[in-house]
Amino acid sequence: MTAPAAPPIRTVGNSAVAAVGILAGALGTLESVVSPTLPLLQRELGIDPAQGALLSIAMLITGALTAPIAGVLGDRHGGKRVMIWLMVVVTAGGLVSSLAPNLPVLLAGQALEGAMVGAMPLSFILMRKLLPADRSPVAIGVVSGFFVGGGMLGTLIAGPIAEGLSRRWMFAIPTMAIVAATVLVHRLLPGDQPSRTDARIDWPGMLLLSGIVLTFMAGLATAPDMGSQPLLLIGVVVLLAIFVTGWVAVERRTATPMFDLRLLARPAIWRSYVVTFATCVGAALSIYLVTQLFAVSGDGYGFGASPTDIGRYLLPAAAMAAISGPLGGLGVRRFGSTAVVAAGIVLMTAGLIGMALVHTEVWHLVVGKALISLANGACITALVIKTATSVDQGNTGTATSMVLVIRVLGFATGAQIGGAVLTAGTPAGSDIPAESAYVTALVIAGVVTTLSLLALRTMSKGARN
């Protein structure tokens, strides 16, 4: 059901778009500070690697569950209002994390911070509502680019802040930036009218989607044990099948589904989701493997780099990630989203295979990672724009939030594949993987990324975008 006619909303200027972009950058920074400092957190909190792994995925899980809820609420109540309330939750999470004396409290803080993922579909709702059609793709690209760039910035600064000040400040500083950016958004961005009036939340659908995400994550976490415990594999597959079947049944029957399954009948939508998953698997593998290669000192390979050195080496990738969103938005306006995604996939594949073949010098990895960051950022931006413009305004938040859920699942899958391949490639009696394990994992990433071209090929038959 569409909302009653409302007075037209004035379009926003560049300052308002910049405010949303700055907020996205601050969120991306806070999102990424745990990963590079996980060994430090384990040491200071006295936790083992298994508990550290739980800490590393807590935000991913809650983020994947929050994004669809935020998208639906934004469509039905207005994107700006819901975004402000989400930032209150994220700020509380940042404060809890910065003050956490132990693992349970830090996990609670990370769970609250996960609400930040919901801000992205809300920003897409706002950019599409408050900007002319020819400006919204670039604005969406700017916001996406700031978020990705913020993530790289967090990876770079987390270690120096934690070592130079304390682990508390690596949470507190991005949280203060989020508060300041939220004030800017509140002042500069006009309120938007709800796109839909059916304000009921599909709680059964949300619970079943939560079951799907949690089962999928649990399956990834226990994947190394499944070879020796086939019943575990069967249990995960059966449970996942039950949740998926139940979710589909509920979404088909409810009057106000959280996700309209009829959208999946559109090739532009389901193929966007497939390509998003595949490219994020490849990107996650590159992030994990390149960092490991910089740090490792193996037999004839690796560089034994310190955390500070790794930060410097990743700086070009951070710069490419920051500009990838705006470039992707400009590319979509000029050439169409399919062309941008195809170019990004080719560039990502070249970077991954290139690093698999040649990684004897630092600059080989620096260049390869920078190319992948640029290509992946442009791909995700173009896929979000494609998804947003393939549905009516009332479904913008719902459809784009699923892109973000799939992005989270893709990154989690890629990281797990990387860890599994390196573990399998570690010789007995050694804790350093063989060089061939890195090569194998990078080739896998390149193959998965390339295969996404099969879904892309007919993503928009007869359509320019």
End-to-end CA distance of the chain: 27
pLDDT at 459 over 60: no
* Statement to judge: residues 62 and 209 lie in one domain: no
Q: What is the pTM of this model?
A: 0.70
- Report the pLDDT averaged over residues 211-232: 70
Mean confidence (pLDDT) of the chain: 77
pLDDT at 180: 92
Instruction: Specify the length of the chain in residues.
Output: 465
Q: Which residues of 378-410 are buried (b: 16+ CB within 10 A; e: fewer)?
A: bbbbbbbbbbbbbbeebbbbbbbbbbbbbbbbb
* Statement to judge: residues 358 and 418 lie in one domain: yes
DSSP structure class, residue 297: B
Is there a domain that residue 309 lies in? yes
pLDDT at 8 over 90: no
Is there a domain that residue 297 lies in? yes
pLDDT at 351: 92
* Statement to judge: residues 210 and 143 lie in one domain: no
Q: Which residue in 457, 377, 302 sits closest to 28, CA to CA?
A: 377
Percentage of residues in the chain having pLDDT higher than 90: 9
Give residue-wise pLDDT tens across range 258-273.
666 776 767 777 788 8
Give residue-wise pLDDT tens across range 415-427.
778 877 887 788 8
pLDDT at 48: 58
* Statement to judge: residues 222 and 146 lie in one domain: no
Is there a domain that residue 317 lies in? yes
pLDDT at 327: 82
Asked if 118 and 81 count as a contact pair (C-beta separation under 8 A), the reply is no
Give residue-wise pLDDT tens across range 11-68.
566 777 788 888 888 888 888 787 777 667 767 877 655 556 567 667 777 777 777 7
The domain of 405 spans 263-460
* Residue located via tokens 């508390």: 168
pLDDT at 3 over 50: no
pLDDT range class, residue 288, cuts 50, 70, 90:
confident
Distance CA 56, CA 35 (A): 6
* Statement to judge: residues 16 and 157 lie in one domain: yes
pLDDT range class, residue 371, cuts 50, 70, 90:
very high
R_g over Cα of the chain: 21
- Report the pLDDT averaged over residues 107-113: 85
pLDDT range class, residue 366, cuts 50, 70, 90:
very high
Is there a domain that residue 89 lies in? yes
- Report the pLDDT averaged over residues 288-293: 82
Among 190, 221, 236, the domain-final residue is 190
Tokens linked to 72: 């639906």
Helix boundaries (H) for 165-202: 167-188
Percentage of residues in the chain having pLDDT higher than 70: 79
pLDDT range class, residue 463, cuts 50, 70, 90:
very low
> Can you say how many angstroms the Cα of residue 260 is from the centroid of all Cα atoms in its chain?
22
CATH of the domain at 171: 1.20.1250.20
* Statement to judge: residues 164 and 245 lie in one domain: no
Tokens linked to 271: 């193929």
Is there a domain that residue 45 lies in? yes
Is there a domain that residue 5 lies in? no
Coil, helix or strand for 326?
A: helix
* Statement to judge: residues 276 and 403 lie in one domain: yes
pLDDT at 1 over 50: no
Is there a domain that residue 195 lies in? no
- Please tell me which residue, 274 or 67, carries the higher pLDDT value: 274
* Statement to judge: residues 335 and 417 lie in one domain: yes
Report the alpha-carbon angle 421-58-94, nearest 5. Answer: 130
Pick from 180-184, 217-221, 303-307, 447-451: least confident: 217-221
* Statement to judge: residues 342 and 448 lie in one domain: yes
Give residue-wise pLDDT tens across range 133-146.
667 767 777 777 77
Among 141, 160, 190, the domain-final residue is 190
- Please tell me which residue, 6 or 124, carries the higher pLDDT value: 124
Q: Which residue in 218, 212, 207, 210 sits closest to 242, CA to CA?
A: 212
* Statement to judge: residues 106 and 245 lie in one domain: no
* Statement to judge: residues 149 and 248 lie in one domain: no
* Statement to judge: residues 107 and 154 lie in one domain: yes
* Residue located via tokens 């709702």: 125
The count of domains in the chain is 3
What lies within 8 Å, CB to CB, of 364 at 6+ separation is 354, 355, 358
* Residue located via tokens 């004396």: 101
pLDDT range class, residue 397, cuts 50, 70, 90:
low
Name the packing angle between helices 267-295 and 396-424 (round to 10°).
40
DSSP string, 80-121: HHHHHHHHHHHHHHHHHHHH--SHHHHHHHHHHHGGGGGHHH
pLDDT at 243 over 60: yes
Give residue-wise pLDDT tens across range 144-193.
777 777 877 887 788 788 878 888 898 989 999 999 988 988 887 776 66
Asked if 311 and 37 count as a contact pair (C-beta separation under 8 A), the reply is no
Is there a domain that residue 397 lies in? yes
